[in-house]
Amino acid sequence: MKKTIICISCPLGCNLAVEYNNKAIIRVLGNACNRGAKYAGKEIFSPERVVTSTVKIMGARVPLLSVKTDCSVSKEKMFDIMKQIFKIQIEAPINRGSIICKNICGSGANLVATRTLDKTTQIR
């Protein structure tokens, strides 16, 4: 089978011509670097994305803490993960990289903070 996909691994966005069968990738053309071939394999058989969002935070000078999954997760799991994210509420202080939720929704990825927020008594 043949399919043309766009590599999203970097802003270049190469057009990849992918040839594959039921089990494996046969050939990838058009990728400017190796990551393209790797991406094509994933995208054809089990597409994955990184989820970035925010969770509520108490005791910081802002109401929201930005978070991400520390690796890409199955596309099918994205909305379950978002539902879980809505429920989370944490307390300052938080350091960038701290784990907010381990193995979120069994996706294999941890939800981590992407920002450092100190504790403050001054709420805006």
36 binds, among ligand SF4, another protein, none (CB under 5 to 8 A by kind): ligand SF4
Binding mask 79-98 for another protein (x = CB under 8 A): x--x-------------x--
User: What CA–CA distance (Å, rounded) separates 107 from 109?
Assistant: 5
The strand pair at 52-58 and 89-91 is best described as parallel
The answer to whether 9 contacts ligand SF4 (rule: CB under 6 A) is yes
Binds another protein (CB under 8 A): choice among 26, 33, 64, 123: 64
| DSSP letter, residue 8 | -
The answer to whether 7 contacts ligand SF4 (rule: CB under 6 A) is yes
Residue 109: both structure tokens together: 């990825």
- Tell me which residue of 30, 26, 22 sits closest to 6, measured CA to CA: 30
The strand pair at 73-74 and 111-113 is best described as unpaired
Between 9 and 66, CB nearer to ligand SF4: 9
Residues lying near ligand SF4 in the complex (CB under 6 A) are found at 7, 9-10, 12-14, 31-33, 35-36, 39
